[in-house]
A and B are shown apart, each in its own frame.
Chain A
Amino acid sequence: DAGVTQSPTHLIKTRGQQVTLRCSPKSGHDTVSWYQQALGQGPQFIFQYYEEEERQRGNFPDRFSGHQFPNYSSELNVNALLLGDSALYLCASSLGGGREFFGPGTRLTVL
């Protein structure tokens, strides 16, 4: 039973660029959530996707957008990157009941 997978593992970008992160949920899960974890802090909720629609959004600007595909996989897009976007980006999947399972994360560095 495959767990949550994310790609890439690491990514280095420069300010102003755009980035796309990818996530495949745990087998059987239909809900994908994205979190941002800055150094030394707990993860912060970005948004959640269910049935290919954004169901809930945290306090993040519109530069952060996402997508969910029919196979439940998801992408996180960040436009106009800022230095402050440097963080570990975590994807979690669930059946929507709150018990979430996390992927290994993508570490984004913005220079």
Chain B
Amino acid sequence: GIQVEQSPPDLILQEGANSTLRCNFSDSVNNLQWFHQNPWGQLINLFYIPSGTKQNGRLSATTVATERYSLLYISSSQTTDSGVYFCAVFMEYGNKLVFGAGTILRVKS
């Protein structure tokens, strides 16, 4: 099956710093989503981005489907950005999301 790899696995930032999270996938996908999981377990939709670039406030994402990767940018990080960030790809023939292992982000004040 498809492999979804996220890097780095852990990231510690000082408040105000910028960061880039990466997601590589091993096969063609129909779409890709980025999620933020808060400490209570809720998965919050950040981006639905099968290709191209989208921006939402301090966050932006880029997916290059032909090269099988996506990037999540976080600028001017805040302590509330802490949590686990997941990339998930949708396999149409499987009708399911396949998740990466996540990146644990800790933002220190």
Tell me if A's interface is mostly helix, strand, loop or mixed: strand
**Cβ-defined partner of B95 (8 Å) among A35, A41, A48:** A48
Count class of interface residues, chain B: 20 to 34
Contact bitstring B67-109, A, C-beta under 8 A = 1, else 0: 0000000000000000000101010101111111110000000
In the complex, the answer to whether B96 meets A102 with C-beta atoms within 8 Å is no
In the complex, the answer to whether B31 meets A99 with C-beta atoms within 8 Å is yes
**Cβ-defined partner of B92 (8 Å) among A33, A42, A98, A99:** A98
**Cβ-defined partner of B102 (8 Å) among A42, A99, A101, A105:** A42
In the complex, the answer to whether A45 meets B42 with C-beta atoms within 8 Å is no
How long is the Cα–Cα vector from A88 to B40 in the complex, in angstroms? 10
In the complex, the answer to whether A100 meets B97 with C-beta atoms within 8 Å is yes
Give chain A interface residues in 56-83, CB to chain B under 8 Å.
56, 58
